[in-house]
Structure 1
Amino acid sequence: MIRLLIALIVMIGAWAGLAYIRRLPPEKQRKLLWRCALWGGGLLLVLMVATGRVHWIFAVIGALFPLAKTILALGFQLFPLWRQHKAKTQQQPPPGSPPSGQMTAREAMDTLGLKGVESEVTREEVIAAHRRLMQKLHPDRGGNDYLAAKVNEAKELLLKQLG
């Protein structure tokens, strides 16, 4: 008799729930149905664990499915903030790096390891210093792009000043 009473209560609840769902707009209907299906599946897994039909680990995994949608939604909300943070950190030079901007002739001389006054440097000295450094700093030989670019910039600046 108790089973019949429980079945009757479940049927009345299902009928009332479907009547409520039919009154909702289609978008909210879809959302509510998904939520009910996920929570219902999680409760079914808990019931199966309680009766010994499923191992508890599978029930935990199944119970996480309704939460996964919430976690994904939160992740998608935070994704634009993460992209903005990443873009901001990429624009800023790393700590300890020289300030950006145009390189001066003195900085170019220091970069290439040339001594003396800028006006006394010859074209051959600049080319030789550049070649020597690029053999050490080229990215294909274990150097990095930043240093190779700075050495190239220094060479171009000094050669442009020399005429």
Structure 2
Amino acid sequence: MPLTFIVIVAAVVAFVWLRNQPPAQRPQAILKLALLVGTLILLVLAVTGRLHFLFAFLAFLYPLLRRLLPSLLGGLMSGNTAGGGTRASAGNQSRVSGEILEMSLDHDSGTMSGRVIKGPMEGRELDNLSEQEFLELLRYCRANDEDSARLLETYLDRRFGDSWRADDQTEDQESGRAGSAGGPLTESEALDILGLEPGASRDEIIKAHRRMMQKVHPDHGGSNYLAARINEAKECLLG
């Protein structure tokens, strides 16, 4: 009974911890959890003298693991690159930053993720904010940094559609402003937006621009603001 109770409590704690992880980090969290559980099982088998059962089981699974392990390890490495603090490999992810927000766009899935880098909510991931916190953050961005406000509006549009605007009592009346970009881009910022490495060729820049515009073009339900920044990044790098 004590062992069963401990297992149930551990399972509940693991479930709550996993649910609180940002969606973009959940695959890595699941892998970490699986490794922890596997280690604990190994320790229990070693203490109880039943380790030979594990070896027999692994021998049975060896042909399957031999085929699947390389792809699993490859997925783990790519997931760690995207979720860590380093730049993702060229062509996989773009980053656009304002003074308050830093946003990433995955080229393959088209999903956006973001983090607050300045202000009262500094360090918070956008995936973890409540509806009220989104509106508070939006008001703060509008008062302090137009670029960050446009980024947050883009994120909210892609995540919630137009439904969030019904609760936005302070939405700007100047609709044309949504398509305007901020200040001039540096070469480093332009590379980040297109997901390229320094020294990218003209052909790579054009291909990255075309790929990004397919994801965020306003005609495809994308963002005027991001489309403007992507066009500006191309002009900056090719100019």
What TM bracket, shorter-length normalisation?
A: 0.3 to 0.5
Using structure 1 for the length normalisation, give the TM-score: 0.37
**TM-score, normalised to structure 2's length?**
0.26
Radius of gyration: which is bigger? 1
